[in-house]
Structure 1
Amino acid sequence: MHYPSQRGFTLIELVMVIVLMGVIGGMVSVFMKSPIDAYFDSARRAGLTDVADTVLRRMGRDIRKALPNSIRIADSQCVEFIPTKTGARYRSDPGGAGDVLDFSQSDGSFNMLGNNPAAPADQQIGAGDLIAIYNLGISGADAFAGDNTAAVSSASPGAGSPPESLITFSAAKKFPLESPTKRFYVITATEKVVRYLCIDATGTNAQGHGNGTLYRQVLSLPLAESTTCPASVTGAAVMATNVSACNFNYSGSDLQRNALISIKLQITEKNETVSLQHQVHVSNVP
């Protein structure tokens, strides 16, 4: 009987192939390591930049809606302000059938020029909101102390032509100062004070990560002014972690009724650092 020939490879040939594959793999890994490391480094930097940019934009959006003359900075690690959701004008001319806001005595209601229900949902005045008039941020005209604010109990639909809405207070209020432009601002019931606060934003740890955390804290009114930032917070939203440096700087101008707030945020992860700076123009015309 004839058997077909059988072919194979020897153990020496197998060892030689394994050695050659190892050499080739080692050579390839040398050339591949740098591009792979660069890819992960680039992805990490992009992630850090995205976090920092998103946080700064959110802060800028909040600060632009701040009640005039309400921004306070205890030190470079925190900033607090009273956010507003809308503003309008109150009736001051007694002509017609509208309810005029009386500044000579306590008044429980007034007519807003405009139709409240016609405004976007997030800008409509509702129960629990606060009306603030001519906030100067000084004693006697400070919204943080409640000098020039009154709580809303109801806001009726607009009536007349052009329409005017009746705003009723929970309790009658005598406002200390009248606005030269007959303007009032509305402080939302759910966020009367917003504070951005960096805690432990001082360098990095042994793993190369930033030590600090940036928080967004919602507070209530009235709120006394503090000379230092809190060392800890509870119930605050975390905006960014791995913060290695943080700085808030507020430059106001009483003569020009405007101000500038500068925010610097530095985030470090695995010794990779991204540092961004953002400036927000603030209108302090009350």
Structure 2
Amino acid sequence: MRRISDLATSRGFTLIELIVAMVLTGILAAAAAVFLRVPIASYFDVARRAALTDIADLAVRRFSRDLQTALPNSVRVAGACGGAGLCYVEFLEVRTGGRYREEPSGGATSCPIGAGVYTDALQIGNADSCFRSLGQVPDLATIVSGGAGDFLVVYNLGPGFAGADAYASGGVTGGNKSRITAATAGANAEDQISFQTLIFPLASPSRRFQVVSGPVTYICDPATQTLTRQWGYAITAAQATPPAGGNSALLATGVSACNFTYAPNAVAQRNGIVSIWLELTQTDPAGTPERVTLFSQVHVSNLP
């Protein structure tokens, strides 16, 4: 038989001891929660800010790269920019470009270029439909020709300049813009560009031409908290807000406010600055809004 003293030494916890242990554990857990809540909340706040910053940074980088391809003097801004209103930035996207020959090197001065008919000059002030480039045209194979193809533009000065505004004729040949009908690689590092017959009124001082693929618009809509890129629609003389048709891609969400401005050089107009201001907002589980603001300026070359 076991002795009474053995039974006394082998007994378990009493109810009072169990309650005391539970109370002490609860106190320790509550203290730990209080001390850990701040660093944990800070971690999620930092992660949320980093995510917002990444979204804004990627959108601005894409925007900036696109603006580097803008046709000189083609950037224009419309809408209620500067806060919670819709804001639009539009420009004509340059696919490629080069230099044209001012004087023919011999032979006839009419198109088409072919056997026995050699002309390689762009006739400014006279009806013309083809020329040869001075040197190879970069990315010649990417030029889209035909009914819905790219446009040839010479000496674009922008709105307010008769015969030098690529927007003025809309989506058809006119002014300083003509639809390209063919782009053919040539010999001696000279490529042939054919286009719908047009009288280009003004010569580029540096004999430059650009091939324009079409308009691109960036749309900031704080009501839906989105930043969207739209392209593939027709050129219009007046800026459409929003553009009709084409394709679109969502670049950023959570956009609560934005402002786009364009400031061309007031003296020489050889360059301009596009300022981009974005505010992105995300709400934490407690309902507190977290905001990130990003500002960037992009240099735009306006040398036609």
Shorter-chain TM-score range:
0.7 to 0.9
CA distance in 2, matches of 1:235, 1:111: 33
Q: Indicate the larger mover: 71-80 or 266-275.
A: 71-80
Note the 1:240-251 alignment, pairs <5 A: 240-251=252-263
- Residue matched to 1:141: 164
Distance 2:280 2:203 in 1: 45
Letter in 2 for 1:184: F
Q: Counterpart of 1:239 in 2: which secondary structure?
A: strand
Partner of 1:175: 200
Which amino acid counterpart does residue 253 of structure 2 have in structure 1? Answer: T
- State the identity as a percent: 44
Question: 2:245, 2:51 → 1: CA distance?
Answer: 26
Q: Describe the shift of the 1:144–1:221 C-alpha distance in structure 2 as closer, same or farther (beyond 3 A).
A: farther
SS across alignment from 1:164: coil
Counterpart in 2 of 1:66?
Answer: 70
Report SS of the residue matched to 2:77. Answer: coil
Worse overlay, 6-15 or 70-79: 6-15
CA offset digits 1:4-33 (Å, max 9, x no partner): 976543444333332222211111111110
Which residue does the alignment assign to 1:131? Answer: 152
Paired residue for 1:106, among 124, 127, 136? 127
Counterpart mapping for 1:134-213 below 5 A:
134-137=155-158, 138-146=161-169, 147-160=175-188, 163-169=189-195, 171-188=196-213, 192-200=214-222, 212-213=225-226
- Give the counterpart letter for 1:89 in structure 2: R
Aligned length: 267
Following TM superposition, by how much is the alpha carbon of 1:229 offset from its aligned partner in structure 2, in angstroms? 4.0
1:49 aligns with 53
Q: Deviation digits for residues 186-216 of structure 1, max 9, x if unmatched?
A: 112xxx1111122235xxxxxxxxx532221
- Looking at structure 1, the residues matched to 182 and 262 of structure 2 have their Cα atoms a distance apart, in angstroms, of 36
1 CA distance for matches of 2:247 and 2:105? 49
Q: Which whole-Å CA distance do the structure 2 matches of 1:82 and 1:240 have between them?
A: 22
- Equivalent residue of 2:167, what SS? helix
Look at both structures and tell me which one has the larger radius of gyration over its CA atoms.
2
* TM-score (norm: length of structure 1): 0.83
Distance 2:243 2:186 in 1: 47
Gap regions ≥5 residues in structure 1: 202-210
What is the RMSD computed on CA atoms of the aligned residues?
A: 2.7
Gaps of 5+ in 2: 82-86, 107-117, 170-174, 284-288
Letter in 1 for 2:215: V
